[in-house]
Structure 1
């Protein structure tokens, strides 16, 4: 009798796992809204009554599917905290970065979670809450690792550890974006460079924490929309951008935009035929803003310290000003499913690639005295990729965290780290050699 019960329980668990895995596969292909229990039933061949035996509704199924994907992956990876720290923190970072989940199918469930996380709905969504809990667990786990590497007498060690944990999780999240095929670099030197920069960011945080508080402030839902002397069309465009940044592209509705702008829908339809045209206009204007600032020439400072110039590149992206918001809009768009086509998507992707190439040229100029001509291009590309990964990590955290860090603090950390790591490069040094100096 016991054997029969055990076999029945095992079959029930196998059915449950099959339902979870098929639900996640469908979510990756069709998104949260596009996945239904009927689709899961057809894909698994499991009856509706059996699905409902395991899960009360779609909400609980999707939440459990995210949890299952995360736990399955985590069980296959070594526990970073079990590894005794070595004498060189950047070497430990590199050793773990290369063991982090690779881009592709294995991390697609995380993209689904991020798609849910970027929206801030008024009513709770169980699957979204579950993913944020999973993400928070990852941040806290990495924060524990960082905490043991910081000075024992550091007063703001807990805050610093959380910030480093968020940056490290963000670096891993960048792998799920469909952007890097256009700028693919060798993983080994890139991860060594990222590890070296994370190490320098931690050093800089210790310095800053000794001088001032590492303050955060909460995300404010439904931030007041500042009415200006702009015409109605411009108000609608700005309101649409605000909604995108608050709720993601899927959160844009005519009703929300009109409520944000404080204008009736009848006025909106004088200028735009539908939601897609609104979104396309926001993207187009962001691209135009980028085109205006990309023309700015930044020559290498006489004293060689280009970290201040780097800060000026970073701040607009983090606070969304002066054309810098194009990167944040692009990241949110890249989180959407590939079958969701918005007018202007291709243009935005091209602008982001252009931004990468322009930044390569900028780094070539900044690094030019350090390396011979043939090696400048190669190193500039690795520094540019590292620059974007750190920036994108900060932007992703900004979208999903309940507490926001001061953009000026993040800009200081990223620019200082890149400058200090670059300062370690000597003539003839390769990126592979960088972290062994």
Structure 2
């Protein structure tokens, strides 16, 4: 190849990589609807003709950008350690260590993919299709991994439940890393790594209930308990538009067009778009919370397990309705990232209150045992509950699972109980306890 042609080819590849990186950055900042070819042109400093030489439109560009980020992540991901132990505990611990590393780097393909997967639009989006195909391949490979790891003759549904639980933990922890920076992710992944193997072996010997998943909703359930007045029409319209287009793609004009009301009506009730969406989140959360069972304080392990199963089964069962505070809230959290918007602040306040409530409940139910004063354990249990349920919500919106939601809820309860049992065993007095592994508590 002549030198001049080789130089042009190299320059073309450099320009293509520059365009892909710029598109990923913009999509991470503004979501799918807020990403435009003109913004990519401005960010790269390249002429628009160069952008369109490589990519025919925005959808093609973002699909290629997602693949670009995925490939780069695969190249950087650590391979299997040949020195890892030949037991399930060691291999699960290695997978959790890879998860911890991934959370720390927060690859853009994952964040962008979650944003795209949550959008409730009927439009064909190539980048979303690409991400969902990658998810399906991940689900299948994770199920096969668990099937190979479990004893011969294990219940056939156990690998599906474990794969769903593991992917939910990964999705939920990645999402939390965008909103809850103070969480200790090494502590959380360590707790998961220690608890998953014994829970997996118990699940392998227990029958599961395979079932077809509920149909994926086209839109979130609106604020149905509210009367049909102008304010409610605006709230419903804002919830629908933001679920379809994300935060940046939601405009005052689109909300007013959907509601059939003029901008003057919107500004009569709300200062701006952020205040309107903040109330969408608050109203939806209150309505959802009214339908959920209460966290009755449990004073014995048996009561704790029973309460956890009742509440978590109800919570996970509600996800097929795609409550606005979860769907719109997660889209806002992923898209606005470091922006101090009113809506993002409201969603984070809801999350902080949920964590506070859960932490207090776990502290109360463990108050009579050896882990009564272990605040790290109480927080770890609360945060893992939030992360896994968030991940299960994400999966409900994007994936087709043939598992009974109650089986998944019960597996999460078993995981939490295993963490409690491991930590209480370490704290129990006696020479055997002092000889236990001192590398870290069950809470990390």
* Fold-level similarity (TM above 0.5): yes
Structure-1 residue corresponding to 2:376: 378
- Map of 1:67-216 to 2, 5 A cutoff? 67-80=67-80, 86-100=85-99, 101-103=101-103, 106-154=106-154, 156=156, 160-173=158-171, 174-177=173-176, 178-182=178-182, 184-185=183-184, 187-208=185-206, 210=207, 212-216=208-212
Structure-1 residue corresponding to 2:393: 395
CA contact (8 A) 2:366 2:372 kept: no
1:20 & 1:170 partners in 2: Cα distance?
Answer: 28
Q: Deviations over 1:167-199 (max 9, x none)?
A: 3333233224422224x22x4432221123333
- Is residue 213 of structure 2 the alignment partner of residue 217 of structure 1? yes
1:327 & 1:30 partners in 2: Cα distance?
Answer: 19
Q: Deviations over 1:124-151 (max 9, x none)?
A: 1111111222233333333332221123
C-alpha RMSD over aligned residues: 4.2
CA contact (8 A) 1:215 1:406 kept: yes
CA contact (8 A) 2:322 2:397 kept: no
Structure-2 residue corresponding to 1:46: 46
CA contact (8 A) 2:85 2:91 kept: yes
1:20 & 1:276 partners in 2: Cα distance?
Answer: 30
TM-score (norm 1): 0.79
Secondary structure at the counterpart of residue 333 of structure 1? helix
Structure-1 residue corresponding to 2:346: 347
2:244 & 2:110 partners in 1: Cα distance?
Answer: 18
2:338 & 2:400 partners in 1: Cα distance?
Answer: 30
Higher RCO (CA < 8 A, seq sep 6+):
2
Secondary structure at the counterpart of residue 426 of structure 1? helix
Secondary structure at the counterpart of residue 78 of structure 1? coil
2:116 & 2:15 partners in 1: Cα distance?
Answer: 26
- Map of 1:26-65 to 2, 5 A cutoff? 26-65=26-65
- Is residue 263 of structure 2 the alignment partner of residue 265 of structure 1? no
Q: Deviations over 1:377-410 (max 9, x none)?
A: 1221122222222222211211221447433222
Residues 138, 33 of structure 1: alpha-carbon distance in 2 compared, 3 angstrom cutoff:
same
Secondary structure at the counterpart of residue 68 of structure 1? helix
- Map of 1:278-427 to 2, 5 A cutoff? 279-289=277-287, 296=294, 298-302=296-300, 304-320=302-318, 330-338=329-337, 343-371=342-370, 373-374=372-373, 376-403=374-401, 405-424=403-422, 425-426=424-425
Residues 422, 428 of structure 1: alpha-carbon distance in 2 compared, 3 angstrom cutoff:
same
Secondary structure at the counterpart of residue 20 of structure 2? helix
2:438 & 2:356 partners in 1: Cα distance?
Answer: 19
- Is residue 228 of structure 2 the alignment partner of residue 232 of structure 1? yes
1:410 & 1:238 partners in 2: Cα distance?
Answer: 33
Q: Deviations over 1:245-274 (max 9, x none)?
A: 9747558799999999xxx83699699679
CA contact (8 A) 1:190 1:386 kept: yes
TM-score (norm 2): 0.78
List runs of 5+ in structure 1 lacking aligned partners: none
2:415 & 2:107 partners in 1: Cα distance?
Answer: 28
Residues 282, 203 of structure 1: alpha-carbon distance in 2 compared, 3 angstrom cutoff:
farther
1:296 & 1:276 partners in 2: Cα distance?
Answer: 30
CA contact (8 A) 1:204 1:417 kept: no
Structure 1 window deviating more from structure 2 (44-53 vs 126-135): it is 44-53
Residues 351, 213 of structure 1: alpha-carbon distance in 2 compared, 3 angstrom cutoff:
closer
| Matched residue count | 425
